[in-house]
């Protein structure tokens, strides 16, 4: 009998989207990490700051954690991923997965019509740009609102809150999440 690989325990798992009609912001990650696949919850990595940033930026009125991801629609938010397949890192993803994932995400945008598509990570934004026929992105992409819209939905780039992301300080991440909160009010 062949020995099972450890990855077999999580590689086939998929997260449930948390999206309902009337969603104001659809948060999109690149793909689930292993911990998220194992728990069945978005942004469940122990060093991921997504949930802390939601509360600290006042996007949600009370502290929430990955266990509460099914409550996001109560606040007017949804959450999904570009690529459904979990992996230890994005280097494991193929270009064809990005293309296939974009087609699915675009259908979700058309169906739910969020006001804002909040892309969680500059890398995700870079991956989507060629798929929507955008011009070559600048060398440094600013966080915040972007010039493109998709089916009337505004795009907003947030930093990746993973503990692995050393590109932004917590203060910079909080400033970006807070800017989203202000944009929703304005």
- Alpha helix segments (H runs only) across 34-115: 34-39, 50-56, 95-112
Judge whether 109 and 26 are in contact, CB under 8 Å: yes
Active site residues: 31, 42
Task: Output the CA–CA distances (angstroms, integers) from residue 49 to 42, 69, 76, 162, in the order listed.
Answer: 12, 14, 20, 6
Other CB atoms within 10 A of residue 56 CB: 17
């Amino acid at each position: 009998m062949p020995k099972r690989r450890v990855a077999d325990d999580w590689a086939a798992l998929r997260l449930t989207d948390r999206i309902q009609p009337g969603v104001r912001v659809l948060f999109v990650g690149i793909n689930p990490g292993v911990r998220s696949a194992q728990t069945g919850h978005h942004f469940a990595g122990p060093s991921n700051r997504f949930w802390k940033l939601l509360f600290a930026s006042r996007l949600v009125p009370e502290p929430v954690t990955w266990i509460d991801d099914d409550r996001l629609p109560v606040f007017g938010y949804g959450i999904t991923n570009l690529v459904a397949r979990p992996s230890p890192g994005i280097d494991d993803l193929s270009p064809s997965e990005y293309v296939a994932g974009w087609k699915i995400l675009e259908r979700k945008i058309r169906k739910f019509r969020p006001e804002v598509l909040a892309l969680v990570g500059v890398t995700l934004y870079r991956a989507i740009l060629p798929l929507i026929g955008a011009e070559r992105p600048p060398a440094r992409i600013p966080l915040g609102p972007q010039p493109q819209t998709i089916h009337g939905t505004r795009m907003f780039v947030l930093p990746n809150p993973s503990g692995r992301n050393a590109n932004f300080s917590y203060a910079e991440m909080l400033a970006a999440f807070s800017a989203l909160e202000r944009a929703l009010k304005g």
